[in-house]
Amino acid sequence: MRTKILEILRSAGDGYISGEEMASRLGVSRTAIWKHIRELRENGYDIVSHSRSGYSLREAPDRLLPNEIRHGLQTQCVGREIHFEEVLDSTNNVAKRLAAAGAADGTIVVAEQQTGGKGRLERRFFSPAGKGIWFSVILRPPFMPQEAPKCTLLAAVAVAKAMERFGLPAGIKWPNDLLYENRKLVGILTEMSAEMDRINHIVIGIGINVNILPQEFPAEIRKTATSLQAVNGGKPVPRVKFFQAVLEALDALYAEVATQGFALVLAAWRKYTITLRQEVRVIGVRDGEEYTGIAADIDEDGALLVDAADGRHRVLAGDVSIRPKK
């Protein structure tokens, strides 16, 4: 009902529309309209009223509410279904439960705050209320399980494209971070449920630091993290519009992959990356092995190819961390 009321208010532009007319259109009482208007105001919508003219929507909140995300969103699959909560432990945890219960391809889970957000290698991800975009998307792709790791690269390219659309410089660090001046802006965690010959579902969790001030980061990450607001010269970035840009880029890339494979995604990743042609240090997570070399390229599977003193190494996302050599 609130969605329909917002549609009517938006269709009136800067004008007013009476509660009686809205009640007539929607087949409810004027009291019901008033109650929904009150709830919309409680959610941050600036709706003014005039005793003779009715109601007018002056401003919508920059909150990641389903009604705001859907308004003007141009996607075919991603964001078709939206599960929203004010606070979650982890959007990935909820998305995995929804996926196991049969949630549709392209369903997103979004929260204003995460209390237990995590990234790759179980690292905590700072996810304060109202300051970022913390979400997960459920995909049910037609390709084979061995292709799944490239979905992390796909997600990174989608965020980079959204940043480019907003005039913000984007740099992808292999395999799953976006950085600005060597500080982390975005983290991505991809998880999968699969059988030998098919994917049941993939859940991609994406955390984007949007309007977090430098002093708001915890002391332990203050020197290594940043936000889109900082990249934007201190000017806040509209979260809903940026989120829509990310979802639209994800949707387009996902459709492209389904019909043409990952070649174009990998080419776009190479365009945005800051890892290739850099000297890097590879640290083995399982065996502790360390070596340095030049990040030469990624292969068709998305693995990083590093030229070290003893030859070329093929580095898999789940096995190592990549750090600039000091």
Q: What is the dihedral of CA 129, 134, 138, 141, to 10 degrees?
A: 170
CA distance 270 to 268: 5
Can you say which residues are annotated as belonging to the binding site? Answer: 90-92, 114, 184
Q: What is the dihedral of CA 203, 209, 215, 216, to 10 degrees?
A: -50
Answer for the pair 153, 84: CB distance below 8 angstroms, yes or no: no
CA distance 185 to 238: 16
For residue 67, what is the enclosing H or E element?
A: helix 66-70
Q: What is the 3-state secondary structure (H, E, C) of 230-270?
A: HHCCCCCCCHHHHHHHHHHHHHHHHHHHHHHCCHHHHHHHH
Answer for the pair 166, 233: CB distance below 8 angstroms, yes or no: no
Reduce the DSSP state of residue 192 to 3 states and report it.
strand
Structure tokens at 164: 């480019």
Can you say which residues are annotated as belonging to the binding site for biotin? Answer: 90-92, 114, 184
CA distance 69 to 283: 40
Produce one character per residue of 47-63: b if its CB has 16 or more CB atoms within 10 Å, e if not.
beeeeeebbbbeebbbb
For residue 300, what is the enclosing H or E element?
A: none
66, amino acid identity: P
Task: Kindly state the DSSP code that residue 316 receives in the 8-state scheme.
Answer: -
Answer for the pair 154, 257: CB distance below 8 angstroms, yes or no: yes
